[in-house]
Amino acid sequence: MKSRTKIKSKVAVAFLENFPKAYNNYTLKHVSKQPGVPEANLTKPLAECKVALLSTAGVHLKTDIPFDLDIQDHTIRIVPGKAQEEELTVTHMYYDTKFAKKDTTIVFPIQQLKELEQSGVIGSVSDIHIGLYGGIMETEQVEKESIPKVVELFKNKDIDVALLVPG
């Protein structure tokens, strides 16, 4: 990470921790208003559903290429369902990652999903999950490339439920 990015990250984290309301208003300004909501509803019981996680908290495998914080990195990371908690980490600059690095389940609760699969609450945990870096102001590439890729992956894997977790 470039030193300029490091300073930017420290300022952003201090800003959100000390002025959460102002941070919310700042974020709100960068979001375009979308009309309506997508009408996708579950057609079968949860006990028969395949469930996947999608996190924008910058989650990825430790062995994977981290998100590049010096650019608006819109690329996706695939997290295998068999990944263990200790194999995961986070790369992000707009929230304090020290907590998520101690315990990644606070942004990526895959272990809890596996327990629910064991107890039969959900049908199964997907064998792929998605990590994204949500610290992006220009969303064009995310909408053009990343989202269609994720939708295709999830459709090919017959995912019934995607749980979205921010950072």
Partner 1 sequence: MITLLPEVTEKVGVPRTLHVPFKLGRPCGEPFDFETRKKVINQLLELAAKPAGTRMEYIE
Residue-wise DSSP of 81-101: TT--GGGEEE--SSS-THHHH
Closest to 157 in 3D by CA, of 132, 124, 133:
124
CA-to-CA distance for 158 and 156, rounded, in angstroms? 6
118 makes contact with partner 1 (CB under 8 A) = no
117 makes contact with partner 1 (CB under 8 A) = no
Among 96, 123, 128, 153, indicate the residue that binds partner 1 (CB under 8 A). Answer: 96
Among 18, 39, 63, 155, indicate the residue that binds partner 1 (CB under 8 A). Answer: 39
In this chain, which stretch among 1-9, 12-20, 71-79, 141-149 interacts with partner 1, using CB under 8 A?
12-20
120 makes contact with partner 1 (CB under 8 A) = no
Tokens of 126: 């997907």
Closest to 133 in 3D by CA, of 99, 163, 89, 83:
89
132 makes contact with partner 1 (CB under 8 A) = no
In this chain, which stretch among 60-68, 70-78, 96-104, 147-155 interacts with partner 1, using CB under 8 A?
96-104
Tokens of 148: 């269609």
Helices (H), 3-139: 3-18, 20-29, 98-102, 110-118
Interface residues with partner 1 (CB under 8 A) are 16-17, 20, 23-24, 27-28, 31-42, 46, 49, 51, 57, 92, 95-97, 99-100, 102-103, 105-107, 109, 112-113, 115-116, 121-122, 161, 163-167
